[in-house]
Structure 1
Amino acid sequence: MHIRAARPDEAGAISDLAVRSKAYWGYDEDFLAGSRVQLAVGPDEVGRRRVTVAERDDGVVLGFYALEGDPPVGELSLMFVAPCHIRGGVGRRLFAHAVSTARDVGLTAFTIDSDPFAEAFYLTMGAVRTGEARSPIRAGRKLPRLTFTVSSS
């Protein structure tokens, strides 16, 4: 597996992967329909949002993240792993890469509005819960807001 910047022509496949990954957690069709809109990445957004993919040697994308914003604090706005690779180390590798990227672009921290099912992963990676955010998909639903502090080393 290697990690690289996403290409604009991969935007559709990346967006589909995000919804497949979200579906892994058993969300209903109405929720997934809203997710398709909310989690979509357009070809023109790939560079601006720093979309990065993990792929196998044969080019199959296993997961991706988007790290947005300018120093000092950014946002890990998207991070998804293909369902068959969840709990297989892809997320850990992507997160470590996101931290390295954050450091390289001068971020001292980044926030994560996490899916509740992913909160434990981010806490294990060193993020801390700092509040709640409103879900952009379902009214009245709250998301854990987490913050990861980027070390200088």
Structure 2
Amino acid sequence: MTSSITRAGSGPAVTVRRATARDARRLTRLVRASRAYEAPYTAMVADYRVGPDYIEAHRVFVAAARADDRVLGFYSLIVAPPELDLMFVADDAQGLGIGRLLVSHMRDEARAADLDHVRVVSHPPAEGFYRSVGALRTGTALARPPAVAWDRPELVFPITPEI
């Protein structure tokens, strides 16, 4: 499934496409460079790697500028159990509707996979965004030091069947 948006005057024309192994390094750089993971969250992504094996094993989708295929964001949907495992938008692409486009695409993918919900364990500063696009707070995922040293909001996207 491919989706696209064009926002006149406010950003690039964007296509959402399935990630390929060739995208692995760009996705890894996007994760590691994210300002959302500056102190105290830096340790969580410092050595993080989105490898070709991960891309092959999961439903990973990239939002890319149509003009030059620049990666503006990506997400990873795990089907069993249903979870939005990763979602990142490039710092310079935030505010252009890329995150909303990715969430909409993720919901379409979840619907196509006959899922009725998708769980998200959110980076604490991202909770407001997820709630603004329809996720509901369900609880708190407790810290798991040393990998994750802080509690995180747990949310769910209800997936309604297409009528």
TM-score, normalised via structure 1 length: 0.88
RMSD: 1.6
For the residue of structure 1 that corresponds to 2:161, the secondary structure is: coil
Write the distance in 2 (CA, Å) between the matches of 1:67 and 1:8.
16
* Match of residue 122, structure 2, among 108, 114, 124: 114
Check if 1:12 corresponds to 2:21: no
- Give the match for residue 64 of structure 1: 74
Deviations 1:29-65 (A, max 9, x none): x74243133x421101103221100000111010000
- Max radius of gyration: which structure? 2
Higher-RCO chain (CA-CA 8 Å, sequence separation at least 6): 1
Write the distance in 2 (CA, Å) between the matches of 1:63 and 1:89.
11
TM-score, normalised via structure 2 length: 0.83
Q: Structure 1 residues 31, 116: CA separation in 2 closer, same or farther (over 3 Å shift)?
A: closer
The alignment of Structure 1 onto Structure 2 pairs a total of residues equal to 146
Write the distance in 1 (CA, Å) between the matches of 2:65 and 2:54.
23
- Please tell me whether the aligned partners of residues 79 and 113 of structure 2 are also in contact (alpha carbons under 8 angstroms): no
- Give the match for residue 47 of structure 1: 56
Write the distance in 1 (CA, Å) between the matches of 2:17 and 2:117.
22
Unaligned runs of 5+ in 1: none
For the residue of structure 2 that corresponds to 1:126, the secondary structure is: coil
Check if 1:143 corresponds to 2:152: yes
- Please tell me whether the aligned partners of residues 58 and 76 of structure 2 are also in contact (alpha carbons under 8 angstroms): yes
Could you say which structure has the higher helix fraction?
A: 1
Percent pairwise identity: 36
For the residue of structure 1 that corresponds to 2:82, the secondary structure is: strand
Per-residue deviation, 1:135: 4.3
Write the distance in 1 (CA, Å) between the matches of 2:78 and 2:104.
16
- Please tell me whether the aligned partners of residues 48 and 68 of structure 1 are also in contact (alpha carbons under 8 angstroms): no
What amino acid is aligned across from residue 25 of structure 1 in structure 2?
A: A
Alignment of 1:59-138 (within 5 A): 59-70=69-80, 73-135=81-143, 137-138=147-148
Q: Structure 1 residues 26, 94: CA separation in 2 closer, same or farther (over 3 Å shift)?
A: closer
